[in-house]
Structure 1
Amino acid sequence: MIFKNRTLRLVTLAVLASCLVVGGEPEPRRGSKVSPKFSNKSEGNNKTVNSREGKVFSLFNIVQFNNGGCRSTSTISGGGSGSSNRNGTCFTSNECVSKGGSAAGSCAAGFGVCCVFLVSASGSIVTQNCSYIRNPNFPNSLDTATQISYTIQKCDRSVCSLRLDFETFSIQGTGNTEEIDTDLTPLDPGGVCLDTFTATVNTGQNIPTICGQNTGQHIYLDVGTLSSDTAQLNFAFNGASNNRQWEIKVTQIPCNTQGHPTGCGCLQYHTGLTGRFTSFNFAPTNDNHLANQDYSICIRQEAGFCCIEYSLCPDANSFSIDTNMMLMMAKVETECFSVDYITIEGGQGSCSGSAVPSAGVNRYCGDKLNPLTMEGENVPICDCTAPFRVDIFTDATTDLADDPPTENSKPSRGVCLEYRQIPC
């Protein structure tokens, strides 16, 4: 058999990259085609001829695939959801290398590679969607106390916000340090971060400084509508430590994307009929919640559901937002204005009717979650006033017992709440 004038051409078309979050809240992806599209075209005047001399033909193959999200073979161990695969973007092998990524598996029926973007060096500029920012020498802990910073640039002018997922996040927390001077004045208020992580944008969004153990947490950043808008991430350290390690997934989200809290003032956003959330640095049982926090945790209202019920997690001290001894006995709402508290607008008794509603009570402090004053038991809180959100506020002062002003008998660990949405 003789082949004459055989032509094979492979063309790949690249479009804007997008990220698909696996095992968590869905992220936007641009384009819907993930399988290659084939088209055959004849070229020139070549003809297919059947003869004893052989077969003469011409074939022009075009293979197209979107640069959509893909699941790579690169794995995360011990992250927010346990062992899982990192997300990547489908590119050709050459495109992946030219953009600074690493091929980890195939996509588009083998015509592309799942390209993973890992960034470690301080001062790096992150330009690709679905990038992973990691400490230098990851997966080993950071062995220096040098400040680390990153700049996130938009991968496309249509991007308005970012989601940061803390796959691994471990830096020094507050240290649970409360020294008392001879005049009974606290020298080192608990809740003040030793190490710090800060995120800054030019939209005026209030983003709290955090520290400690925050693996599994996430935050949304409103970066603005200008193509030149960026976000800055900074780690600053205090002294030597061997527990500094992080891996943060950065997802870029276009403006007006359905199902995302763009421009609504939510630092955190949860979906689903049930779930759990905590204040930052709740994970360790021997450290304090963080000082100077002022942010909102929002839950998307699902179709056909009109109320949401919050209850304490089974973890110890799941509501220890301010363990001042005076507030542990009496929780008059007006007293919550001058201490640490959470706000649940429209809060009242349980949605099941097991507790007596108390209209107008929306601030909760002390060490008990209860809409009634002078009560010593934790009860669920029902909220039928959408949008559903819980505001976290902590001040800059130490949670100390009043008489004598010494350390509290239990830590001010923070807040851990479970929620379930109630049908209309």
Structure 2
Amino acid sequence: MVVLSLFTVVTFPNGGCAGASGDNGTCMTARECTARGGSANGYCANGFGLCCIFMTSCGSSTSENGTYFVNSGYPSVYDGTGSCELTVIKSHPDVCQIRLDFNRFSIAGPEQMHNVCNQDQFIVSGGNPVPAICGNNQGSHMYIDAGIGMTNPVKLTFVTSGPTFERLWKVKVTQIPCSTIYKADEGCLQYYTGVSGQLRSFNYDPVSGLQLSNQDYGICVRMERNFCGIQYTACPDTVNNRSRSFTLSGNSNTPVNAMIGSGAGPNNCANDWLLVPCGTNVGRIQPAQALCTDRICGGTFSAELSMQPSTVLSTVKPFRLWFHTDNVEAPVDVGNRGFCLNYVQQPCTNNLV
């Protein structure tokens, strides 16, 4: 006699899923989700699993990939002072990096004389050196070096102080294994992929943003297959009479020309600058013995001393920019917004090798 089982065991992998709220989570059983401290948010695996969302706030730790770090009382704003910290523990020894996506990020901006974050700050510790940031950074991201093994927790801290302010943050924390193709290159605080995209300095806004002081970090773009160069153009500014999408030094309340090079002269970039390796203006033929332009600053984006913005081409590989600001703005540097650049990778031709 054959006995037929009335039950069927269904198994499915703990893969990524999209919750009903739009947040990303991990597909698992209801029991597993509850045991690991998550919240069910819709179905996955053809209805056999639940999309488990991990969301946590101040004073906690997590080893769950895809955790959301939110302010106290989220989704309501937070108008308090203190320190809100999350400790990120690796889920596996093979994790090399932590990616932080700022889905929501609105805290008090810098003071307006030297643009220093002395009221609110977001601080990362335990990984590679990361500059403190503040202000509005929704849509930005960071890559943090997680070190080797399991003994290097990364701490994320929002410090809030000073006058009343409606703060709101939601930071997605993604753990990246060493062997993945989407791991950022070493030394890149920001890492972009795709043939085209947009790069912004932290707290950039053409109307009210202020370039942050004490910044020093690399911005990298993955070189896609069959592309050998990259062009950068200042983003269109549709809100100001005069474009402020690239204002790094000088008084941006008046027209400021592009400044280049690392010297100490009036048209050089000694304090605040964006390094574009061997950048040249598109359409200009450089002499065979011409020196590379590296640093660009001022209030106009161009690889030459000019009041006219230009598209700047670099063929140095890998594609990498470096952004640096000191801790002094006034009285020379006033109202600078930072930068917003659109990039487009250029296909390999006889002129781009």
Residue identity in the other structure for 1:323 = G
Aligned to 1:348: 280
Residue identity in the other structure for 2:194 = G
Q: Distance in 2 between matches of 1:319 and 1:107?
A: 45
The 1:111/1:330 distance shift into structure 2, 3 A limit, reads: closer
Deviation at 1:359, TM superposition (A): 4.2
Aligned to 1:163: 99
Aligned to 1:423: 347
Q: 1:235 aligns with which of 158, 165, 168?
A: 158
Superposition TM-score, scaled by structure 2 size: 0.90
- Give yes or no for the alignment of 1:144 onto 2:76: no
Q: Distance in 1 between matches of 2:210 and 2:299?
A: 14
Q: Distance in 2 between matches of 1:228 and 1:261?
A: 21
Residue identity in the other structure for 2:143 = Y
Q: Any conservation in 2 of the 1:327–1:366 contact (CA below 8 Å)?
A: no
Residues 26-78 of structure 1 deviation map (CA, whole Å, 9 limit, x = unaligned): xxxxxxxxxxxxxxxxxxxx41xxxxxxxx6345633221100001102xxxx
Q: Distance in 2 between matches of 1:57 and 1:124?
A: 48
- Give yes or no for the alignment of 1:309 onto 2:231: yes
Q: Any conservation in 2 of the 1:323–1:400 contact (CA below 8 Å)?
A: no
Q: Distance in 1 between matches of 2:269 and 2:5?
A: 79
Where 2:32 maps in the other structure, the secondary structure is helix
| Residues 7-26 of structure 1 aligned to structure 2 (within 5 Å) | none
| Residues 4-43 of structure 1 aligned to structure 2 (within 5 Å) | none
Residues 93-130 of structure 1 deviation map (CA, whole Å, 9 limit, x = unaligned): 0000011101111111221100000102x210012111
Residues 356-414 of structure 1 deviation map (CA, whole Å, 9 limit, x = unaligned): 436410110111121123x211101101111001110000111433xxxxx74xx2000
Where in structure 2 are there 5+ consecutive unaligned residues? Answer: 238-242, 349-353
Q: Any conservation in 2 of the 1:90–1:107 contact (CA below 8 Å)?
A: yes
Aligned to 1:384: 315
Residue identity in the other structure for 2:310 = V
Where 1:105 maps in the other structure, the secondary structure is strand
Q: How many residues align?
A: 335
| Greater C-alpha radius of gyration | 1
Q: How many percent of aligned residue pairs carry the same amino acid?
A: 38
Where in structure 1 are there 5+ consecutive unaligned residues? Answer: 1-45, 48-55, 75-84, 179-188, 402-406
Where 1:345 maps in the other structure, the secondary structure is strand
Q: Distance in 2 between matches of 1:131 and 1:294?
A: 27
The 1:330/1:265 distance shift into structure 2, 3 A limit, reads: closer
Aligned to 2:256: 328
Q: Distance in 1 between matches of 2:338 and 2:258?
A: 19
Aligned to 2:145: 222
CA-atom RMSD in angstroms: 2.0
Q: Any conservation in 2 of the 1:399–1:412 contact (CA below 8 Å)?
A: no
Q: Any conservation in 2 of the 1:144–1:240 contact (CA below 8 Å)?
A: no
Q: Distance in 1 between matches of 2:236 and 2:330?
A: 23
Residues 328-367 of structure 1 deviation map (CA, whole Å, 9 limit, x = unaligned): 35725224442200001121121xxx23436410110111
- Give yes or no for the alignment of 1:413 onto 2:340: no
The 1:309/1:348 distance shift into structure 2, 3 A limit, reads: same
The 1:199/1:284 distance shift into structure 2, 3 A limit, reads: farther
Q: Any conservation in 1 of the 2:258–2:304 contact (CA below 8 Å)?
A: no
The 1:419/1:284 distance shift into structure 2, 3 A limit, reads: closer
Deviation at 1:157, TM superposition (A): 1.9
- Give yes or no for the alignment of 1:100 onto 2:100: no
Q: Any conservation in 2 of the 1:172–1:193 contact (CA below 8 Å)?
A: no
Q: 2:126 aligns with which of 198, 201, 205?
A: 201
The 1:349/1:331 distance shift into structure 2, 3 A limit, reads: same
Residue identity in the other structure for 1:369 = F
